[in-house]
A and B are shown apart, each in its own frame.
Chain A
Amino acid sequence: MGKFWTVRIASVVAALAGCFIFQTVATNLGNDYYLRLFLLAGLYVTLSVSLNLINGITGQFSIGHAAFYMIGAYTAGILTRAYYEQQPLLPELWLVIMMLAGGLFAALAGLLVGLPSLRLKGDYLAIVTLGFGEIIRIVATNQQSVGGSYGFSFGPKVVAPWMVCLLAIITIAICRNLLKSAHGLPFLAVREDEIAASAMGVNVTKTKVAAFVLGSALAGAAGAILALNEGYLNPDIFKMDVSFLILTMVVLGGTGSITGSALAAIFLFLTIEIPRNIQTADGQKVQITLASLLMAGLAIAIAISLLRKIKDHFHGPPNQRLIRNLGVIGGSIAGAIVLSMILNATTVMGDKTFEFDKLRMVILSIMLLVVMLLRPQGVLAHHEFSWDFVKRLFRKDHDDKAEVAS
């Protein structure tokens, strides 16, 4: 067991070091706005990886993950407002208790929603989770005790970046452990073929519900962190956009891949948040002309068709294919810029412009579309990060050929 403890202690030390670095970076950003982005990106990692447990690993189509995020947040908010003053605990300890409470309530809600809908075959879960997300939002909007649509505030704020990091690490560790041990196989088996899984003795309903409840609980814990970080909640924070964003993260990252979900969470969150605040030197919002927009659309369409051609007909070594792919993408971008400059110089298009930040959701949809067309299994497909992969990158003699041949 010596090796077990070495690995385990090393992992815990690495996790703590990660939290420490996260905390240090967060506190040195020097700007409240950046700090908030940083924390939210971290929370989205938890949300995306936990949804991946349900959608990617177990194959159940849940599209209302924000509902459980919201339940965790409201639980923490309500309990903090009611009890924080009467207890002597440190704020950080209170945060941990709120995370547990938020996770517990979200898990109960998950059980309530999941049990009836997961017993049935077919995509009932998608419909039910979608409806559930809207229902609890409407309930909160009509509850004056939590401020209705204006929301409510509560104190104190507990801004603990390291906790955001720790929750993300715990979420990733849980999912990875599951896939490393034989316990993960029934979940994957249910995703692959319910009838065969059941014939092999897997309790299909129980497995689905377990994944759903666990995923919901983790989202609930993330909600509690959000609540205490903001000190204020309203129902609009948990609109359907949020569920859609989390779902997009899982799909783009590669359904089933923990690494993919985590990376896509950070990447996508920043993609939609940063344009909100890009400004020109004189503080104006960035404007984009209709011509540029059309050319960008055209470039994407051409790039996709060329990339598909390469994908289908090119059988050379991977690095040559990569070069061609990058060439196509670069060429399209360059072409689009040149053409839109020419068009803008003429008066054909008039001077119609759009605010760039209004296009956030358009960018998101286009990215989803591009990935679905070129790589339906998601960017990372089912691949995971592993140290073996890193080692192979740094080794000169590539022995992957031998592996394929064996």
Chain B
Amino acid sequence: MSESPLLKLDQATIQFGGLIAVNNVSFELNKGDLFGLIGPNGAGKTTCFNIITGVYKPTSGKIFFRGRDISGVPSNKIAQEGICRTFQNIRLFQALSVLENVVVGGFLRHKTGLFSGLTLLPNAIKETDHLREEAMKLLEVVNLSHVANHRSADLPYGMQRRLEIARAMATQPDLLLLDEPAAGMNPQEKDELKEVVYRIRDEFDKTVLLIEHDMKFVMGLCERIFVLDRGLEIAHGPPEDIRSNPKVIEAYLGEPV
């Protein structure tokens, strides 16, 4: 028997009033996977991220991370467990600089106490410098080190998306959830993003679960894809199978890709 999957959704369901946004969804992610979650608008993809990261508690069903039940654990604890995410509608700390945004992510693993910070003791200074250095390294990975001191709200759209990835990476997660990371990017930016995602998986040893609308992008990048429609699973498998699956074509793709 191999080790347990990194992430496992077991019949996860969430209901908002009369609407079942995610309906009996089950899938597993193993360490090192590059996993795609696709489906038409309103299918429940972002809601899946929200129940995995503790924004909402599933109405029924369970979510396991490294074999441990994490359904309903609050967001900040989930981040400590090693799952971090980006947001479809970018949520940067707008007034903070690009570098500071990433340091917030890194601060999750801080060791000095608040008292050291309030009195600016040497250990707090040292830790701050260290976190800034680490953040700077991540900014290089996503190609943003040249704008490290700019206000994050002033960055163009594509850069803001990459900054969100760097910020999430700073929490040192094992599982990274990317919600439409390529939305609003031009083809060249998308190619660069693809490289970044590969690096994150191969160099940094992360597992990546991503939501994306651009089929070319997902099909080219992900090794396994899960298709959701109106909260329900309609297909699950490698890109080749998904591409030719009649149900997927009917519900989502419209025509074969």
Q: A interface vs B, CB < 8 Å?
A: 1, 4, 174, 177-178, 180-186, 188-189, 191-193, 195-204, 210, 214, 256, 382, 406
- In the assembled complex, the CB of B87 is this many whole angstroms from the nearest CB of chain A, namely 7
Known: A181-B117, A199-B85. A186 touches B93 (CB 8 A): no
Whether A192 contacts B95 by the Cβ 8 Å rule is: yes
Whether B80 contacts A201 by the Cβ 8 Å rule is: yes
**B104-149 interface (Cβ within 8 A of A):** 104-108, 110, 112, 114, 116-120, 122, 124-125, 127-128, 131-132, 146
Whether B91 contacts A196 by the Cβ 8 Å rule is: yes
- In the complex, which residues of chain A have a beta carbon less than 8 angstroms from the beta carbon of B46? none
Whether B117 contacts A201 by the Cβ 8 Å rule is: no
Task: Please tell me which one of the listed residues A1, A4, A178, A199 contacts residue B117 in the complex, with CB atoms under 8 A apart.
Answer: A178
Whether B87 contacts A196 by the Cβ 8 Å rule is: yes
- In the assembled complex, the CB of B116 is this many whole angstroms from the nearest CB of chain A, namely 7
Number of interface residues of B (CB under 8 A): 44
Whether A177 contacts B167 by the Cβ 8 Å rule is: no
Known: A181-B124, A185-B104, A189-B96. A199 touches B53 (CB 8 A): yes
B9 at the interface (CB under 8 A from A): no
B74 at the interface (CB under 8 A from A): yes
The contact sample of 29 A-B pairs, CB cut-off 8 A, is A1-B122, A4-B125, A174-B119, A177-B117, A177-B119, A178-B118, A181-B124, A182-B124, A183-B114, A185-B103, A186-B104, A188-B93, A188-B100, A189-B93, A192-B93, A193-B93, A195-B75, A196-B92, A198-B74, A198-B76, A198-B79, A199-B76, A199-B87, A200-B105, A200-B107, A200-B171, A201-B80, A256-B95, A382-B95
Whether B118 contacts A183 by the Cβ 8 Å rule is: yes
Residue of B nearest to A184 (CB): B117
The A contact surface, by secondary structure, is: helix
B55 at the interface (CB under 8 A from A): yes
A200-B171, A201-B171 known; 10 other A-B pairs, CB under 8 Å? A4-B125, A174-B118, A181-B120, A182-B103, A192-B93, A196-B92, A199-B168, A200-B168, A201-B107, A382-B95
Residue of B nearest to A214 (CB): B118
B94 at the interface (CB under 8 A from A): yes
B84 at the interface (CB under 8 A from A): yes
- In the complex, which residues of chain A have a beta carbon less than 8 angstroms from the beta carbon of B168? 199-200
Whether B104 contacts A197 by the Cβ 8 Å rule is: yes
- In the complex, which residues of chain B have a beta carbon less than 8 angstroms from the beta carbon of A174? 118-119
- In the complex, which residues of chain A have a beta carbon less than 8 angstroms from the beta carbon of B76? 198-204
Residue of A nearest to B109 (CB): A201
Among A174, A195, A201, chain B packs the most CB atoms within 10 A around the CB of A201
Complexed CA–CA distance, A184 and B117 (Å):
8
Complexed CA–CA distance, A95 and B228 (Å):
67
Residue of B nearest to A175 (CB): B118
- In the complex, which residues of chain A have a beta carbon less than 8 angstroms from the beta carbon of B120? 177, 180-181
- In the complex, which residues of chain B have a beta carbon less than 8 angstroms from the beta carbon of A182? 103, 106-107, 110, 117, 124, 127-128, 131-132
Whether B107 contacts A193 by the Cβ 8 Å rule is: no
Known: A180-B120, A198-B76, A203-B76. A185 touches B125 (CB 8 A): no
- In the complex, which residues of chain B have a beta carbon less than 8 angstroms from the beta carbon of A185? 96, 100, 103-104, 107
- In the complex, which residues of chain A have a beta carbon less than 8 angstroms from the beta carbon of B127? 181-182
- In the complex, which residues of chain B have a beta carbon less than 8 angstroms from the beta carbon of A180? 120, 128
Complexed CA–CA distance, A197 and B131 (Å):
17
The proximity string for B residues 168-185 relative to A, scoring 1 for CB distances below 8 Å and 0 otherwise, is 101100000000000000
Complexed CA–CA distance, A210 and B114 (Å):
10
Whether A189 contacts B104 by the Cβ 8 Å rule is: yes
- In the complex, which residues of chain B have a beta carbon less than 8 angstroms from the beta carbon of A210? 114
- In the assembled complex, the CB of A25 is this many whole angstroms from the nearest CB of chain B, namely 28
- In the assembled complex, the CB of A225 is this many whole angstroms from the nearest CB of chain B, namely 21
Complexed CA–CA distance, A191 and B108 (Å):
17
- In the assembled complex, the CB of B114 is this many whole angstroms from the nearest CB of chain A, namely 6
**B31-74 interface (Cβ within 8 A of A):** 53, 55, 74
Complexed CA–CA distance, A200 and B28 (Å):
24
Whether B84 contacts A202 by the Cβ 8 Å rule is: no
Complexed CA–CA distance, A4 and B116 (Å):
14
Among A1, A180, A200, A203, chain B packs the most CB atoms within 10 A around the CB of A200
- In the complex, which residues of chain B have a beta carbon less than 8 angstroms from the beta carbon of A382? 95
Complexed CA–CA distance, A200 and B108 (Å):
7
- In the complex, which residues of chain A have a beta carbon less than 8 angstroms from the beta carbon of B132? 182
Complexed CA–CA distance, A204 and B74 (Å):
11
Complexed CA–CA distance, A5 and B106 (Å):
27
- In the assembled complex, the CB of A388 is this many whole angstroms from the nearest CB of chain B, namely 13
